[in-house]
Structure 1
Amino acid sequence: MDENQKNKPGLADIYANIQEDSPDWDTVLHSVISHFDCATGTLHFLDQETSLLKLRAQKGIPPFLIPKVEVIPIGKGMAGIAAERREAVEMCNLQTDDSGVARPAAKETKMEGSIAAPLLLNGTLYGTIGIAKPVPYDFTEAEKTKLLQIGEAICRAIS
């Protein structure tokens, strides 16, 4: 096992962070990013009154892009579409994608392989979590399932 694998947080570490009395969402997100060998990520919680996704934690988003990701309407960008569809949305290479799912500013992150997953518990939407790598990458079904399960745990903590 290489040094990187030894220092990578396991799922038990992530769940322990989520289950704290007052979870530090930056720590939770950083652990998820590290667990999946990603470089950037965002965690948005749904504002029930406005039905907008509001940024709760982020890592690696360039400062000039923060205003563009602070508040996301359902159906806009990867996070908004994941929330709308209530399923994970991914791109092997954000830089070459022309589907219109990713917003043009998303390319300015310089990330390539990316995934956004809804935070769902018993069919109720609580937000989204998104992570990305600086290289082209297709997330496996097991990785998608793991990210959705982490999302369920986050929902339990905030509900």
Structure 2
Amino acid sequence: MNEAADRTGAWLRRWITAHGGVAGTVHARRGDDMVLAAAVNIPPPVVAVVGVVPKGKGMAGLAFERDAAVSTCNLKTDTTGDVRPGARAVDASAAVAIPVHDEAGEIRGVVGIAYQGERAMDDSELALLTREAEALPSA
């Protein structure tokens, strides 16, 4: 693992812990795809599936496409089509994927966090998560 990946993984662990999460990911933008840069408590089969996420596919890809947070109250029972089947293997319920921007306002990545219990996130919680996600170190 390189220094940037170590820094990204350490940041992700701190961010998840600070917000009571149980799992999370960081995807870095590579053209029209998102490439997994860090994962915490994500099962290996899911890591394999989300290694490269195309724009518009899954929660990270949708956050990239929409330039907006994408959330679910429960990964396992979501029927919106936003959650891909592989995400149901994560031992968590609620989750959110948040786009992160560079200085020019372009999306440079997507940060995801998952929670143990089912829950809805209000606007103030999403705003706080988004502000803090923008502090993601460059991958």
TM-score normalised by length of structure 1: 0.79
Contact in 1 for aligned 2:73/2:93 (Cα 8 Å): yes
Larger radius of gyration between Structure 1 and Structure 2 = 1
Does residue 1:36 correspond to 2:52, yes or no?
A: no
Which residue of structure 2 aligns with residue 71 of structure 1? 52
Percent identical pairs in the alignment equals 33
Does residue 1:97 correspond to 2:97, yes or no?
A: no
Does residue 1:145 correspond to 2:131, yes or no?
A: no
* Count of aligned pairs between the two proteins: 135
Find runs of 4+ consecutive structure 1 residues off by over 6 angstroms: none
Offset, 1:141: 1.7
TM-score normalised by length of structure 2: 0.89
1:5-154 alignment to 2 at 5 Å? 24-48=7-31, 51-121=32-102, 122-154=104-136
Q: Which runs of 5+ in 1 are unaligned?
A: 1-20
User: 2:116 corresponds to which letter in structure 1?
Assistant: P
Mapped to 1, the partners of 2:99 and 2:133 lie a distance apart of: 7
Mapped to 2, the partners of 1:110 and 1:100 lie a distance apart of: 19
Mapped to 2, the partners of 1:136 and 1:92 lie a distance apart of: 5
User: 1:30 corresponds to which letter in structure 2?
Assistant: R
Q: Which runs of 5+ in 2 are unaligned?
A: none
Mapped to 2, the partners of 1:27 and 1:148 lie a distance apart of: 18
Deviates more, 1:135-144 or 1:36-45: 135-144
